[in-house]
Amino acid sequence: MAADRIASLTLSHVVLPLENPVSDAKVLTGRQKPLTETVLLFVEVTTEQGFEGMGFSYSKRAGGPAQYAHLKEIAEVAIGQDPSDIAKIYESLMWAGASVGRSGVATQAVAALDVALHDLKARRAGLPLAKLLGAHRDSCRVYNTSGGFLQASVEEIKEKATASLEAGIGGIKIKVGQPDWAEDLRRVAALREHLGDTPFMVDANQQWDRARARRMCRELERFDLIWIEEPLDAWDAVGHADLSRTFDTPIATGEMLTSVPEHMALIDAGYRGIVQPDAPRIGGITPFLKFATLAAHAGLALAPHYAMEIHLHLAAAYPTEPWVEHFEWLNPLFEERIDIRDGRMWVPDRPGLGFTLSDQMRKLTVETAKFSA
């Protein structure tokens, strides 16, 4: 077969409002405003032979327009390249935007195109992406976060948790890290009593210093949690590593990190917890898989952050049993839904990621840019 070439790219800047604003500990500590929307960068790629792929990246509160602007500036270098040469294309995009570095917005913008190329490759093969990568399982354990934010009362969280479990979700995560640590413990105790032996996680969203984190981790040991997430600043690799070696309850972190080297700092510090890389944030599926190989070699458990439409496939290809985070927020953007039952999220049998863009996604598109040969 003759080599194929990328014939066209379409970039879409999409603003998806949330039904209700949500607050985590960063809001209660005054560091951020409530979250009201998710901003996404979609990329649709078409080849000369007629194959197609779709990928996306996202931001919360800030950075969405910057992602779109950056990829719009450099995307043209992918035109005419062989879509199978994903790593080569990635490098060419990195060099095209070299002056702004290789993390943060620079790689998050490229992530959308990188995901689209992996989607295209799997579609062309007629396989779900997980199968193309080499799946270890057809489903992954799933937990819900969207019902556990801090603006909700304990009773509201209980109701949402019950609804999630009845819908087939296997675990529940709630937010902690508010200024009144005693209130955190009261909420955790109330949810643990409500949930019984259901898998239960908490997320402090980086709001404790090292002393408070040690005290809170000690207090939280009695609740038999699956993990305590982001007890410290996301870039405090040494602090997270220390906590992971000190307490029986696993420590989880990594969702905010935006490059493989930033994630590797955890391993280099002796981290023994759960890693939570986010493909759109780390720069796409290409760097995600690079770090996943290193994490597996280090014996670390995996629980990717957000973007379940992408991460289900990547988690299914991880050697040890992972968790996938359920957020229904992006549902309006896609025609299909993921099968969730028996506490697990099931890999679609459709080729690629297994999703097509909805009419609602088109209506929510603020601007587009097109590139062609």
Structure tokens at 41: 């960068």
Cα separation values, 252 from 15, 18, 210, 243, 332, Å: 29, 26, 15, 10, 29
Q: Is 24 known to sit in a ligand binding site?
A: yes
Measured CA to CA, the distance from residue 38 to residue 61 in angstroms comes to 7
How is residue 250 annotated by DSSP? P
Q: Where are the beta strands (DSSP E) in the chain?
A: 6-22, 35-47, 52-60, 139-144, 171-175, 200-203, 227-229, 251-253, 274-275, 301-302, 323-326, 339-341, 344-346, 365-372
Query: 108: closest CA among 60, 59, 72, 35?
Result: 59
Measured CA to CA, the distance from residue 110 to residue 282 in angstroms comes to 10
Measured CA to CA, the distance from residue 3 to residue 9 in angstroms comes to 18
Q: Is 173 known to sit in a ligand binding site?
A: yes
Q: Is 255 known to sit in a ligand binding site?
A: yes
Measured CA to CA, the distance from residue 143 to residue 123 in angstroms comes to 28
Query: Do 347 and 128 touch, CB atoms closer than 8 A?
Result: yes
Q: Is 61 known to sit in a ligand binding site?
A: yes
Catalytically active residues are 175, 305
Q: Which residues are annotated as a binding site for Mg(2+)?
A: 203, 229, 255
